[in-house]
Amino acid sequence: MPMDMHKNVSVQVDSDFALLLPSGVYEIKKMEPRSKIRTIIVFCLFLAIAGIIGFGYFCQDQVCALSKRAVILQSSDMLAYNELPLHQANGINGNSNSNGNNVGGITAMASKASAPQNIIANAGLSYEDVLNDDFQFDMDGHDVMVFLHIQKTGGTSFGRHLVRDLDLKRPCECQRQRKRCYCFRPHRNENWLFSRYSTGWKCGLHADWTELTSCVDVELDKNEGETAKRRYFYISLLREPISRYMSEYRHVRRGATWKGSRHWCLGRQATAAELPPCYKGKDWLDVDLDQFAGCESNLAANRQTRMLADLALVGCYNKSSMPAHERDRVMLASAKRNLAAMAYFGLTEYQKMSQYIFEETFNLRFAIPFEQHNATISAAAVQNLRPDQRRRIEKLNSLDIELYAFAKTLLFQRFEHLKAKDANFEQRYANLGNIFYKQGVTEFNWDSNVEDGLSTDH
C-alpha cells in the first residue's frame, strides 16, 4: 500500500545494515507512548514487517529491481568488512577478479559490499573495475574523472597537475586570468575531467561525495546540452588528520572561509539550526586554537570522513536523527566503503607512491615527478601543541584518524599489487615524470601549495 513519505518509522538497528537501506535515509526517532492505540500500532507494524519480509523473499529477483535478499546479503558483507581489525583485513588473500588477478582483501571485500547501482546513483566505477588487464580510460568515449577535493589535503596542487601536467593527445587549454582550463576529449569539445580547474565548482564549493554523486551527471548534461551514458571515475586525496586539521585552522585564522559551500543533501541545504555559524561577521580572523576546537559545528573536525561518506545514511546534517555514537559508526563505515570503491585516491604523505598508482591505474603519465616535502609549517605547529590540545584534537578527529589508517593500509596494498604486475617497475618508479621537457610545466611543491594563499576556495 502507498506510504506517507512524511511519516517516521522507529527502527532499532544494531549493525551496519543501515548503510544499505534502499530508502537511502537512516532515521531513528523515539515513538511517543500512546497507550490507547498501542495494540493497533503494534499489530500494524507486525503486518507491515511481515509483508516486507514476505515480498522480499518470494518476489523473483528478475522481477524486483531491488530485492531485499540482495540488500541484506550485501549488508552482511559490509558488516563483516567494517568490523574486521585493520591488520586482519589487510591479511585477507586469495580473492580474484574475473581475469584471475589476485586482489587484496580490503578491495575485494569492498567490492562485494558495494551497494547496487540503483541505490547509489552515479557513484562511479570501482577500483576493482579498473584492475582488469584490458581496462583503458577512454577519453574518446564517455569516461569522466571526478575529483573530490577535500580542503587542505594538497588538492589545489594536484588539481593543477591534472589540467597542466598530464601527457595528453589534446592537452587542456588553460586561461591564466580565469584560472580555468578546457579539458576536452581528443575529437570533440566535451569534458573528460570534472574538477575545480576544468568545470569550476558546478556542484558547490568543495562538494563532497553526497553532493557530487547526485549532481555531476545533471551538470554535465546541462553543460553539454545532451544526455549521455557516462562512466565516472572518482578520485580524491587524503592527508594525515592532525596536520590537515592544523592546516585548516591556520587557513581560517588568516581569514579564509568556505561560505560558498552548499552542504546539500537529500534535495536541500543544511539549515542554520543544523550548522550554526562558529563566528559573527565576515570571517574568523585571528581565532585561537582553543576557540576553533571549541565550536561544536566546526566542520574541520573529521572533515575527511564526512566528505567521503553518504550523509543521507545519517540524516544529513540533522544530528538529532540518531545517537551520536551510531551516527559516527555509520558515517565512518560509509566513508571506508566509498574510499575503497574509488578508482583512485592518494595520500599527501606518500606522493611518489600516489603518482605511480595514478599513472598505472589510468595509464596516463605526468610530465613531472611529484616531490616530497615533509617539513611543513603545519607539521611544526603540531609539534608545538600542548599535551591537552593534542588530546583534544585527536578526539575531535578520531574518525579521520581511523579512516586514514585504513586508507594507508589500502594504498600500500594497491601499490604492492601494481608493483607485482609491472615487469619494469624499478625503471618506471625511478623515472616517474621524466617523459620529456615540457615548456611552462608547473613547478611542483605539494606542501607549499597546501599552506599558501588566502582565497576562500582552496
Q: Which amino acid belongs to residue 306? A: R
- Just list the catalytic residues: 206
Give, in degrees to the nearest 5, the angle at Cα 211 between 293 and 251: 35
Of 344, 444, 379, 405, the C-alpha closest to 245 is: 379
172's grid cell:
587542456
Rounded CA-CA distance 443/451 in Å is: 16
Within 266-425, strands assigned E span: 268-269, 344-347
Q: Please answer whether residues 447 and 154 qualify as being in contact, where contact means their C-beta atoms are separated by less than 8 angstroms.
A: yes
Question: What Rg, from alpha-carbon coordinates, does the chain have?
Answer: 23
Residues ≥6 apart with Cβ < 8 Å to 365: 166, 167, 359, 433, 435
Instruction: For CA atoms 193, 197, 198, 201, give the dihedral sign.
Output: positive
Whole-angstrom CA distances from 382 to 148, 257, 342, 347, 452 are: 26, 22, 30, 18, 18
Burial of 247 from C-beta contacts in 10 A (0-12 / 13-18 / 19+): buried
Q: Which residue has the cell 537511502?
A: 24
Whole-angstrom CA distances from 8 to 5, 312, 327 are: 8, 15, 17
Instruction: For CA atoms 234, 235, 241, 243, give the dihedral sign.
Output: negative
Within 133-278, strands assigned E span: 143-148, 173-175, 180-182, 184-185, 188-191, 193-194, 231-238, 264-265, 268-269
Q: Is 229 helix (H, G, I), strand (E, B) or coil?
A: coil
Measure the N-to-C terminal CA separation of the chain; round to a whole number of Å: 49
